[in-house]
Amino acid sequence: MMFLPLILAATVLTPVLAQTPSIKQTVGTWQYKGCYRDFGPRILTFRYTIPAGNSADSCTALCNSEGYGLAGLEYGTECWCDNYMPYGNLMPDSDCNFVCPGDSTQLCGAGNRMVLYENNAATPPSPDTCITWRDGFSFGNNVLQAIPKTGGAVTKLFAIPTNPFTDPIYYTIISTCPAGCPYTDYYNFGLVNGILTSYNSRPIAPNVGDAQSFIFRWPQTVVGYNGYCAKPNPISPNGPFIGYPLLSASGNTDLWALCTNTTDNNRLDIVYSPVANHPHYTLSACQEVYIQMAPYS
């Protein structure tokens, strides 16, 4: 009897390759908006801990359950939420390279780098809502910019003097700074607890038809008008949840104008609700603008 050799078929084992971690682009109705720099003032306000491990899925789910339209993942483990992001510079996606502890296939930002998501199904904040929830409502170190209501190029604004510093009471106004202006450093503004600050000055309440004025606070004991706030920017190119906020005075963001001061070398001054027959400008020469608050850098 002849026995034939037993031939066993070789089993080919295919190696399982680990998936390279990446930034998840969509999570349900949440859309990836970019890798943002998060340094200095936090770009989102509310931080949460996810015991099961941070990931795009878990962080967006948490922010959604808390009623927020923005979710951010940072430093791998951090989950942040908010309804408006007033600051932030886009960085290369490669900067957000920390692996998510809750999903090793995803990336969760890095040190001072945030993977940001926006919920397309969420209701954005109203342009009439003051952004009062950010750090006790503190927007420090801002540059004010006039931008036409229809959008377009911005005009940088300064606090310039209206009288000599040696006078008993020293005033400044918000204006442009034409060539030769000696106060080109006076462009750092702050907004804290409803008071718009300009260096060591405090604001006078806006007066219809006049320029926005400030009074030097020493030696005068001036507290300053506190009817200002920052509101969402309805013409932001980044959508209703992201953008430089607008300066509101007495509840209004849409009464500002850049008017040509015909009595001072045609300088452009910021005027609150300009009027006809004013001694310093012609109403028809005023341009309606918003004042947006960009971070000082």
**pLDDT value for 195:** 86
Token pair belonging to 285: 């020469």
Give start-end residues of each CATH 2.80.10 domain in the chain. 138-295
What is the chain's percent helix, strand, coil content, to nearest 5?
5, 40, 55
Cis? peptide before 21, omega within 30° of 0: no
Query: CATH 3.50.4: does it fit domain 26-119?
Result: yes
Give the three-state DSSP class for 168.
coil
Report the C-alpha gap between 112 and 207 in whole angstroms.
42
Tokens of 240: 């209703």
Look-up of token digits 């080109």: 184
The DSSP letter of residue 56 is H
Q: Please list the pLDDT of the chain residue by residue as tens digits (297 residues).
A: 444 454 444 455 555 456 899 999 999 999 999 999 998 778 999 999 999 999 999 999 999 999 999 999 999 999 999 999 998 899 999 999 999 999 999 999 999 999 999 999 999 999 999 998 875 445 667 889 999 999 889 999 988 888 888 888 888 899 997 665 665 556 778 888 888 888 778 899 999 999 999 998 666 566 789 999 999 999 999 999 999 999 999 999 999 999 999 998 899 999 999 999 999 999 999 999 999 998 876
| pLDDT for 282 | 97
Of 105, 204, 102, 120, nearest in space to 162 by CA? 204
The CATH class, in words, for 138-295 is mainly beta
Burial of 115 from C-beta contacts in 10 A (0-12 / 13-18 / 19+): buried
Helix intervals (H) in 128-192: none
User: Taking a C-beta distance cutoff of 8 angstroms, is the pair 177, 184 a contact?
Assistant: yes
DSSP labels, 57-96: HHHHHHHHHTT-SEEEEETTTEEEEES-B---EEE-GGG-
Question: What pLDDT score was predicted for residue 208?
Answer: 97
Name the segment(s) of the chain with CATH classification 3.50.4: 26-119
